Amino acid sequence: MAACPPFKYKNVTPAVFRALQMLGKKKGIDIPNAPSGNISITVAGLKVNFQYAWDARSGQLILTCVSKPPLLGCSTIKSFADKIVSESGGKTA
């Protein structure tokens, strides 16, 4: 069960996905080189776990927050995710 509604992004081409992986690595986030998988990030010092699904053809990326601390709101998590995706060249859908 998701902890937040899914976050949807568009314009996530293979080049944008690679940029997202590189930016993630700089921020301590390991994004697998696969069209779907799991990611753990730290937001405001708290661990958040995601499942992701990326469709290279359509350029759509869906991030689903599967677990988060109760004190951390979905809007804060979404802002963090939006920033990283937009810095890599993706756009909110």
Q: Is the pLDDT of residue 74 over 70?
A: yes
Q: What is the helix, strand, coil percentage profile of the chain, to 5? A: 30, 35, 35
- 45/34: higher pLDDT: 34
pLDDT at 1: 64
Q: Where are the beta strands (DSSP E) in 2-87?
A: 7-10, 36-43, 46-55, 60-67
Residue 71 banded pLDDT, cuts 50, 70, 90: confident
Per the prediction, the chain carries an average pLDDT of 93
Q: Give the percent of the chain with pLDDT over 70.
A: 99
pLDDT at 61: 98
Name the nearest CA neighbour of 16 among 90, 83, 73.
90
